[in-house]
């Protein structure tokens, strides 16, 4: 496992840092603006990109780019909802998402307001639909950004710091400790499972606001 993991991390690290960081930012932008996140989760791209981080500065830059990409995606989603909302909802993609999900997103925003915008960042499906749904309403853009900004910061900081820290720990220990690979895998699994559980808990607590 050591050889395979070292090869994978070296491969990610060999990618130009600017390109790697840009791709992570674009992935986050697409996730929230054009529903790509319903198919290819942006968190996977960010985890992979973060394993190539080799310094604190690189990590900070990646986190900032991911936050900016998230905010840009949320803003585009909001704008698309404001300008093309009904057309998106009745389009082929909108129909594939399902009217039930659109209604749930609409109901959630109506009932929870800003809290729905903040928590939707951590809810499956809702993280892509809520910006569009808020854009379809009369909710002001400034308040929308103020609610989504802290959620994006928390999300990006969590993913980048844990993934980069795990990769750095492996690199520093791999030559002297045969169990270094297990630390890396364990840290990534802890992140993925922890986020999964947190999403399930939030979804459970918010279910009464989502369902009729």
**pLDDT value for 181:** 77
Burial 77-113 (b: 16+ CB within 10 A, else e): bbebbbeebeebbeeeebeebeeebbebbbbbbeebe
d(CA 11, CA 31): 24
d(CA 171, CA 36): 33
The phi and psi torsions of 35 (rounded to 5 degrees) equal 70, 10
Which portions of the chain are predicted below pLDDT 70? 1-3, 5-7, 34-40, 174-177, 179
pLDDT tens profile 86-137: 888 888 878 888 888 888 999 999 999 899 999 998 887 888 889 989 999 8
First to last CA, the chain: 49
**pLDDT value for 63:** 95
**pLDDT value for 141:** 95
**pLDDT value for 203:** 87
**pLDDT value for 68:** 95
* 162 CB-near residues (< 8 Å, 6+ apart): 187, 188, 190, 191
Contact between 211 and 35 (Cβ < 8 Å) = no
Question: Which tokens is 46 given?
Answer: 């960010």
CA distances from 123 to 155, 200, 207 (A): 12, 8, 11
CB count within 10 Å of CB 140 equals 10
Write down the H helix ranges in 91-140: 92-97, 99-112, 114-120, 126-136
């Amino acid at each position: 496992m050591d050889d395979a993991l070292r090869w994978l991390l070296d491969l990610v690290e060999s990618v130009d840092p600017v390109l790697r960081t840009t791709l992570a930012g674009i992935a986050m932008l697409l996730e929230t603006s054009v529903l790509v996140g319903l198919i290819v989760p942006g968190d996977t791209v960010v985890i992979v990109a973060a394993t190539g981080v080799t310094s604190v500065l690189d990590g900070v830059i990646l986190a900032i780019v991911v936050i900016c990409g998230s905010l840009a995606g949320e803003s585009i989603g909001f704008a698309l909802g404001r300008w093309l909302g009904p057309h998106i909802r009745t389009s082929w993609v909108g129909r594939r998402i399902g009217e039930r999900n659109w209604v749930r997103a609409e109901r959630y925003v109506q009932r929870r307001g800003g809290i729905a915008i903040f928590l939707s960042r951590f809810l499956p499906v809702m993280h892509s639909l809520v910006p569009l749904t808020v854009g379809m309403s009369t909710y002001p853009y400034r308040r929308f950004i103020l609610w989504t900004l802290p959620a994006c910061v928390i999300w990006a900081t969590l993913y980048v710091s844990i993934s980069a820290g795990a990769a750095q720990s492996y690199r520093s220990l791999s030559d002297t400790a045969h169990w270094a690979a297990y630390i890396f895998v364990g840290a990534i699994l802890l992140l993925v499972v922890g986020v999964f559980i947190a999403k399930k808990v939030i979804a459970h607590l918010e279910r009464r606001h989502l369902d009729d």
